[in-house]
């Protein structure tokens, strides 16, 4: 079946602009995660959705970052007033459930964001 | 603070040689442990995981890892590597307290296999 998909695969934007990154999880997965991977680093957690609600947004770096998942499926990560430091690969993952010991997070290919 | 450390940023090895990629974590709470592989321009793929039970876990592509609770380590091993194993490897941990749904990743180890 289809895996996690993310669009666009690459996004180049100018400093100060607004961007939206989209994640389409695996069908039936109720949990969805966003991570950010800067060059030479491991992925860092941003936010976790269980259904439509953000259950944990402790990783969002500041109030320029916001994410939604209005129907409990597709999610959009929104970044306002982009800064050069926001340049990174943004990864999305989904899992059958957020709780329980055996869940596995399936990752998408990521969106490479470059802020010039 | 809860953290995951991969001390080796890069590990060069010859084809058919054994390899060990090291991972240590710092925490006093229970953990679940994972190794992911990332090939160029691709997403993360789960290699193996430790949840409970036997401390030696086997994964895909001939990899295995051993959980050592006293040393808070989860090192990844393969007895004989192939050129196709060249990739970035990430150790990840779920800390079983507040925020346990998220994965905390190490900085990664680049495995370079040469002929």
With beta carbons under 8 A apart, name residues in chain A contacting B42: 109
CA atoms of B103 and B93, how far apart (whole Å): 5
**Sign, Cα dihedral of B73, B78, B79, B83:** negative
Instruction: Give tens-digit pLDDT for B65-102.
Output: 999 999 999 999 999 999 999 999 999 999 887 666 78
Q: Does B44 touch chain A (CB under 8 A)?
A: yes
DSSP A105: P
pLDDT of residue B97: 76
pLDDT of residue B29: 85
Q: Does B102 touch chain A (CB under 8 A)?
A: yes
Min Cα separation B60/chain A (Å): 15
State which residue of chain A sits closest to B103, comparing Cα positions: A45
Say if residue A24's pLDDT is above 70: yes
CB contact under 8 A, A110 and B45: no
Which among A4, A45, A101 has CB closest to B51? A101
For A78, the token pair is 């929104």
State which residue of chain B sits closest to A56, comparing Cα positions: B99
């Amino acid at each position: 079946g289809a895996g996690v998909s993310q669009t666009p695969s690459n996004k180049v934007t100018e400093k100060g602009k607004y961007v939206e990154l989209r994640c389409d999880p695996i069908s039936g997965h109720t949990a969805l995660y966003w991570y950010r991977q800067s060059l030479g680093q491991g992925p860092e957690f941003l936010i976790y959705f269980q259904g439509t609600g953000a259950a944990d947004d402790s990783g969002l770096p500041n109030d320029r970052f916001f994410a939604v998942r209005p129907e409990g499926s597709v999610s959009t990560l929104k970044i306002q007033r982009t800064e050069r430091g926001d340049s990174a690969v943004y990864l999305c993952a989904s899992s059958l459930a957020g709780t329980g010991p055996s869940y596995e997070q399936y990752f998408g290919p990521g969106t490479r964001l470059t802020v010039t | 603070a809860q953290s995951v450390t991969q001390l080796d940023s890069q590990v060069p090895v010859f084809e058919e040689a054994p390899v060990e990629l090291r991972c240590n974590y710092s925490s006093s709470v229970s953990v679940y442990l994972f190794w992911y592989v990332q090939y160029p321009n691709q997403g993360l793929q789960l290699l193996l995981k430790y949840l409970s039970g036997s401390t030696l876990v086997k994964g895909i592509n001939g990899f295995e890892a051993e959980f050592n609770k006293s040393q808070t380590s989860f090192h990844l091993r393969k007895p004989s590597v192939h050129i196709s194993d060249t990739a970035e490897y990430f150790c990840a941990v779920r800390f079983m307290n507040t925020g346990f749904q998220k994965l905390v990743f190490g900085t990664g180890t680049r495995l370079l296999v040469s002929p």
